[in-house]
Amino acid sequence: MESVATAACAALCVGCLTYITLIVCRTFASSTGAHGPAKLPGPRGWPFVGYLRAIEKPDCATYRQWSDDYKSDILGVNMLGTNVVIANTLEVANELLETRSAIYSDRSSTGLTMLRDLVGFSWMIAHARYDSYWRDARKMASQAFHSQAIVRYRPAEMKATLKFLLNLMDAPDDFRGYIK
């Protein structure tokens, strides 16, 4: 009986030490070179959850104060594991979103790899990468669905609506079959 308790205690100690080691390594790891790009200035927050107060009450005055404290017009905050970039001036926002849009406008590959590559949904505009294919597909979709273009679909919509209503009047219990 003592050996089981000793083994459980040892396993608990190893687990706690591993957890503490991971937190220390993550907190004090270098943010440049082989470990990734340099981190933006900003409040660091707690391990694993980040800076939760930024989620509770996003406040322009707080962001401006951080900008003054960290002497930077661009800040980085981790909120529940998601890195958020805060641009505090119009010039920085224009630089990031207009001038460098080709770099930052692509969709995150996290979570989309399976849909895009494995399942084969890369042809869908919502899952496509921000490249020439996306721009061409977006242009075609815009031409087909803008407010003046959809007027030409009206006769087909009216015909389908009439057919649906007639079927519904004939057999209302088959409603689910009519909306497929």
pLDDT reported for residue 107: 66
For residue 57, being part of any structural domain is answered with yes
pLDDT reported for residue 96: 84
Global model pTM greater than 0.75: no
For residue 157, being part of any structural domain is answered with no
pLDDT reported for residue 159: 95
Cα 151 to Cα 17, 144, 156, 158: the distances in Å are: 67, 10, 10, 11
pLDDT reported for residue 31: 46
Of 50, 75, 105, the residue at which a domain comes to its end is 105
Q: Which residues span the domain enclosing 60? A: 39-105
CA torsion through residues 44, 49, 55, 57, sign: negative
Nearest to 125 by CA among 139, 110, 113: 139
CA dist., res. 65 & res. 104, Å (int): 26
Site of tokens 């270098």:
30
Nearest to 103 by CA among 130, 125, 78: 130
pLDDT reported for residue 50: 66
Of 77, 105, 133, the residue at which a domain comes to its end is 105
pLDDT reported for residue 77: 82
For residue 174, being part of any structural domain is answered with no
For residue 56, being part of any structural domain is answered with yes
CA dist., res. 45 & res. 77, Å (int): 8
How many other β-carbons are positioned within 10 Å of the β-carbon of residue 77? 22
Nearest to 55 by CA among 77, 24, 87, 71: 77
Ranges of residues in the chain whose predicted pLDDT is under 50? 30-33
pLDDT reported for residue 25: 63
pLDDT reported for residue 48: 62
Kind and range of the H or E element at 93? helix 90-94
Of 105, 136, 152, the residue at which a domain comes to its end is 105
CA dist., res. 11 & res. 32, Å (int): 35
